[in-house]
Every structure is written in C-alpha cells, then in structure tokens.
Structure 1
C-alpha cells in the first residue's frame, strides 16, 4: 500500500470517528484537519469535498459494524443465541460510540 493510500484510509478512519461522535452537520472540514493532523490542502489532495469524505467514512463504519455482527452470529449455534449476540454487539456500539475496530465487540 502506498503512502497516499495509507493517508486516505487514515483520513477516512478519523473522519468516521468524528462523524460518529458529532454527526455530519456537527463536523467541519476544520474539525477533520484537527483530528487527522493533516492540513486542508492534504485533505483536498485525497478528497474533492466533505461529502466525499462522509460517504467513504460511512462505508468504513458500516463495514466495521457488519463485521462485528457477522463474527458474533458465526460463533453461535441456535437462532436465539444468534439474536442475543446481535443485541450484545448493538449494546457495545451504543455504550462505546467511538468507532474503532478494537472497541466494538
């Protein structure tokens, strides 16, 4: 993976965490530059606008949550255990709103 690809993924990850905490409307491009430590020009090198970042961040966030739901369900045998596992994952998401692979269970 190139440095540019790593930077783009980092911006997406940090923006997903920001949008998860403050929402899209509550997050500005200045907020994104603050949480990433990347200047505005560096952000625009990878994304045309905040909307493009938001779409990528949404896909990233959905991917993490879907992965956690799949892992939880795959480890269960009965239908009721699978449903309860989904609730446990959802409970973790609501109790730990910071979007991160290592926070969600």
Structure 2
C-alpha cells in the first residue's frame, strides 16, 4: 500500500479490480472467516447472535467507509494509503510481538 501510494503514476487504472483479483480477495476473506468460525466452535457459544452482530457492524462500517471515501477519497487518496499501510505494519508487528516476544526483549519497558 505504501509503495503504491508513493509511486507517481498518472494511470488511474489501479483503482479497478479485475476478476482474478476479486477471486483472490474473496478466497482470503473466506479463509479468515473460516478461522473465526472454527474458533467460535471451540468456545461453545450461541453463534447466531454473534454472526448477526458481526454482519451488521461490518456492513455499517464498510458502508460508512465507502461514503466517506467517495466524498474525500480523491483529496486524501495517497495519504490514506500510506496511513493504512503503516497501521497494517504496526498490527503485524504487534501480532509478531505477542507470539514471539522478540520486540519486547529488544527494548526495556
């Protein structure tokens, strides 16, 4: 995301997804949903209210994101991609830290 935001391309064709990219993204999303579903199965909880709440919240957040993106997306496009990329890197480092404790051993907190 960060590299794409920094690249100075006048071609704006990168905003459109082709069928191959859509299929790959849908498979990745399905694998994520499968992992969450398996985790819920181990917890022995009522899955219907949780699925409904996850679906409603996801729909609302995505819908609001699309509305905001249509209004101010052209102005903040590159900045939003850079910030999004930095946030994803920080989330990845946090997950790595939680599972390996490598980063916390490097710094004294």
TM range (shorter): 0.3 to 0.5
- Which protein has the bigger helix share? 2
TM-score by length of 2: 0.33
TM-score by length of 1: 0.33
Structure index of larger Rg: 2
